[in-house]
Amino acid sequence: MREFKLEQEYRYNRSGARRWLLSHTLRYPWLPVLVTATAVVNNFAYSYVQVFIGRAFDLIMQPQWATSALLALAAGALAASATQSLTGLARDYANEFIAQRIERDARDELYASLLGKSQTFHGRQRIGDVMARATNDVRSLNLMFSPGLKLIVDAALGIVAPLVLIALLDWRLLLVPTLFLIALMITVADYARQLTPVSNALRAQFGEMNAGLAEAIAGIEVVKGSAQEPQELEKFVHNAARYRDYFVQQGLIQARYLPMLMFSIAWAGAFLHGMFLWRAGAITLGNVVTFVGLVGVLRFPTFVSIFAFNLVQIGMASARRILQMINTETELDENVNGYSQPVRGEVIFENVSFAYDGTAPVLRNLSFCVQPGETVAIVGQTGSGKTTLTRLVNRIFDATEGRVLVDGVDVRNWQLEALRGQISFIEQDVFLFSRTIAENIAFGCAEATQAAIEHAAKEAQAHDFIMSFKDGYETEVGERGVTLSGGQRQRIAIARAFLTNPRILILDDSTSAIDSATEDKIQQAMRRISAQRTTFLITHRLSQIRWADRILLLKQGWLIDQGTHEELLARSRDYQRIFARYD
């Protein structure tokens, strides 16, 4: 199941890495046909040059020979070489087209799949490993096709073409090439068997190394603040050393590659066999030259196989890693045919419990009803389930037991886009994209005008500090908004929520980094807009708690009480303790 799908998504066969790659290739059927056809002509043209050379040798061995005949043979060799060059150009062009399109399509498919995964899935992933699969592994698919599979196709036809021409020359000459071909197949199969686990481990270790690097860079403030640079360096060096060791192991396997030695023996054996047949009068000396030249053609496919099979093995390992991520099932479905209506704002929890992946329940048997336009504060000690509760409303997670209803409809029966498009969630840890301030405010409301953006920013008390920047609303913020203070990031997030005009607004400690004077102004704006929508507040600010129509008091996942601030203060010791701590 997925939360997001493209309207017209190409359906690939994802039952295995080979079938998946084949379905990607067959999306453009004329390209592999062109590659194969041009490779056939290319290799036969290249091999046929040896035939012309042998015939020329027989010609000049005659007592009298005509210059015109020799020129005709030279012209034939030239035409074969020209044909080889032109078909080689067409083959390389078509093959590069396949490689580039498969890389593009695989990256698009993986990215769309990642967008469709649930929050639970992303919470289990290491960002560095995901990035390694989306960049390096996808790039390996390109290299697998160009030059990897191109060389393998060339190598296969580079064996077939000489064998066909040798058979046409004299079938008895097939003895040594056939024995060599059998030995080549056995040794290449053994080479692939040894290389496969190393290639898999190499790709996995790259993901591990990249994940560690991404975590260290993302948490650089914590690393430096804790003086952990030596420890992080040691960890990275250890991961890099393991990556190096796999490369060395791969090199050892390649160093023991036997086919080139076997080819040298086969070439010498072919020359000896040809000379015996010539001495017996079975073939001409020109036939021997042609035969030895055709056996020499086998050197190229033998040589490139070590390089080509390595690229293919790495590409297959990458394909398995990409497909594993794409095929990972998630819990939520976008429910394209689900309920889709304007939200009024009624939220009902009916005996709701929730647990992360079979762990101990975070929420236990919650039941309450929030009326449209009501403002509800959620309070409780750290770890009591406050944030988790609100994430069940917009289906970031689904309830393990019970039902969450919006306007009387189970959220699982809503069309996911319609539900989430009418709910805004502002967290304490605000995420901003590496884009302009205007684009960050308009995220989720792409059609917003500049006037609407500025109005939302003014309501969020962000307009003045935005205009203090040289480029105003066109100021580029760093990744995650690192060029802004915490309070500035929160005000931009609040402006984003104001602009989308949600029917349900969820504020998770969203003004924690804002000074009291600015917060008061934001609160006034929030009160104006909250009168028209349902609002959930998670906060430790008493000014916001008092403002709520109702307060839900959580303890260890249980809803132990609910009421107004005055009611809870009068009857609940747990609430009194929280109040005393906040006070």
Stretch 370-387: mean pLDDT, rounded?
A: 89
Here the CATH number for the domain that contains residue 440 is 3.40.50.300
Q: Do residues 357 and 263 both lie within one domain? A: no
Query: 578 falls in which pLDDT band (50, 70, 90)?
Result: confident
Is residue 401 within 8 A of residue 353, CB to CB? The reply is yes
Count of the separate structural domains present in the chain = 2
pLDDT at 281: 87
Does 313 have pLDDT greater than 70?
A: yes
338, part of any domain: no
In terms of pLDDT, which residue wins out, 517 or 307? 307
Note the pLDDT of residue 331.
66
Higher-scoring residue by pLDDT: 432, 154: 154
Residue 446: inside a domain: yes
Q: Strand 401-406 to strand 347-354: parallel, antiparallel, or no bridges (unpaired)? A: antiparallel
CA dist., res. 497 & res. 508, Å (int): 13
368 with 278, same domain: the answer is: no
- Average pLDDT (302-327) is 86
- pLDDT on residue 406: 94
Q: Between 532 and 144, where is the model more confident?
A: 144
In a domain, 429, yes or no: yes
Predicted pLDDT of residue 510 = 61
With pLDDT > 70 as the criterion, what percentage of the chain qualifies? 91
Residues 188 and 55 in one domain: yes
- Residue 174 confidence (pLDDT) above 90: yes
- pLDDT, tens digit (0-9, with 9 covering 90-100), for 259-292: 888 888 999 999 999 999 999 888 898 999 999 9
The Cα–Cα gap between 204 and 224 comes to 28
Does 2 map to a domain?
A: no
Tokens coding 443 = 């995220």
Q: How far apart are CA 177 and CA 299, in angstroms?
A: 12
The residue among 111, 299, 263, 288 whose CA lies nearest residue 187 is 263
Q: What percent of the chain has pLDDT over 90?
A: 31
Q: What is the pLDDT of residue 200?
A: 81
Predicted local distance difference test score (pLDDT) of residue 311: 85
Do 247 and 139 lie in one domain? The reply is: yes
d(CA 342, CA 396): 20
Residue 49 in tokens: 């040059």
Question: pLDDT-based confidence at 551, cuts 50/70/90?
Answer: very high
User: Is residue 312 domain-shared with residue 356, that is, in the same domain?
Assistant: no
What are the backbone dihedrals phi and psi of residue 376, each rounded to the nearest 5 degrees, phi first? -120, 125
pLDDT of residue 490: 79
Residues 272 and 396 in one domain: no
Helix (H) or strand (E) holding 348: strand 347-354
Least confident of 356-360, 365-369, 563-567: 356-360
Residue 217: inside a domain, yes or no?
yes
Query: What is the bridge-based pairing of β-strands 534-538 and 504-508?
Result: parallel
**More confidently predicted of 83 and 120:** 83
Q: Where do runs of H (alpha helix) occur along 65-174?
A: 67-116, 119-124, 127-132, 138-143, 150-169
Residue 5 lies in a domain: no
pLDDT classification of 57: cutoffs 50, 70, 90: confident
Q: What is the mean pLDDT of residues 246-257?
A: 84
If one compares 241 and 528, the residue with the highest pLDDT of the two is 241
CB 153 within 8 A of CB 42: no
pLDDT computed for residue 96 by the predictor? 92
Q: For residue 251, how far is the Cα from the chain centroid?
A: 28
**Given this model, what pLDDT does residue 178 score?**
92
Kindly state whether residues 354 and 231 are assigned to the same domain. Answer: no
State the chain's mean pLDDT as an integer.
85
Q: How far apart are CA 223 and CA 537, in angstroms?
A: 33
| Residue 362 domain boundaries | 347-582
Burial class (CB within 10 angstroms; exposed 0-12, middle 13-18, buried 19+) of 171:
exposed
Token pair 């995964």 in the structure block, residue: 117
Q: How many CB atoms lie within 10 A of CB 330?
A: 16
**Count of other CB atoms within 10 angstroms of residue 391:** 16
In angstroms, the CA 172 to CA 162 distance is 14
Question: Between residues 513 and 298, which one has the greater pLDDT?
Answer: 298
Q: Which residue has the higher pLDDT, 143 or 431?
A: 143
Q: Alpha carbon of 582 to those of 479, 523, 541, 551, 575: distances in Å?
A: 33, 18, 7, 15, 10
- Domain shared by 269 and 361, yes or no: no
What's the pLDDT score for residue 496?
85
Instruction: Answer for the pair 209, 322: CB distance below 8 angstroms, yes or no.
Output: no
CATH number of the structural domain spanning residue 91: 1.20.1560.10
Q: What is the CA radius of gyration of the chain?
A: 35
Going across the sheet that includes 409-410, the strands are 363-370, 347-354, 401-406, 409-410
CB atoms within 10 A of CB 12: 19
pLDDT tens-place string over residues 177-223: 999 989 888 888 887 788 888 888 887 888 888 878 877 877 776 67
User: Residue 519: pLDDT band by 50, 70, 90 thresholds?
Assistant: low
Are 353 and 312 within one domain? no
For residue 486, pLDDT over 80 is answered with: no
Range in 305-319, 467-481, 509-523 with the lowest mean pLDDT: 509-523
Pair type for strands 363-370 and 347-354? antiparallel
Q: How confident is the model at residue 516 (pLDDT cuts 50, 70, 90)?
A: low
Residues in the chain: 583
User: Which of 268, 293, 327 marks a domain boundary?
Assistant: 327
Name the domain boundary from 270, 294, 327. 327
Q: Is residue 332 part of a domain?
A: no
> CA triplet 299, 304, 310: central angle to 5 degrees?
150
Domain shared by 323 and 352, yes or no: no
Q: What is the C-alpha separation between 380 and 390, in angstroms, rounded?
A: 14
Express each pLDDT in 414-466 by its tens digit: 988 888 888 888 877 677 888 889 988 888 787 889 999 998 888 888 898 89
**Residue 513 reports pLDDT greater than 60:** no
Same domain, 204 and 298: yes
pLDDT of residue 123: 65
* Residue 9 CB neighbour total at 10 angstroms: 12
Residue 526 has pLDDT above 70, yes or no: no
Number of Cβ within 10 Å of residue 559's Cβ equals 22
Backbone angles phi, psi at 375, to 5 degrees: -105, 120
In a domain, 291, yes or no: yes
The CA–CA distances, whole Å, from 6 to 11, 122, 416, 496 equal 11, 19, 14, 25
CA distance 134 to 577: 49
More confident residue, 405 or 112: 405
Residues 99 and 153 in one domain: yes
Sign of CA dihedral 177, 179, 184, 189: positive
Residue 508 three-state SS: strand
With bands split at pLDDT 50, 70 and 90, how would you rate the model's confidence at 527? Answer: low
Instruction: Look at residue 582 in the predicted model and tell me its pLDDT.
Output: 53
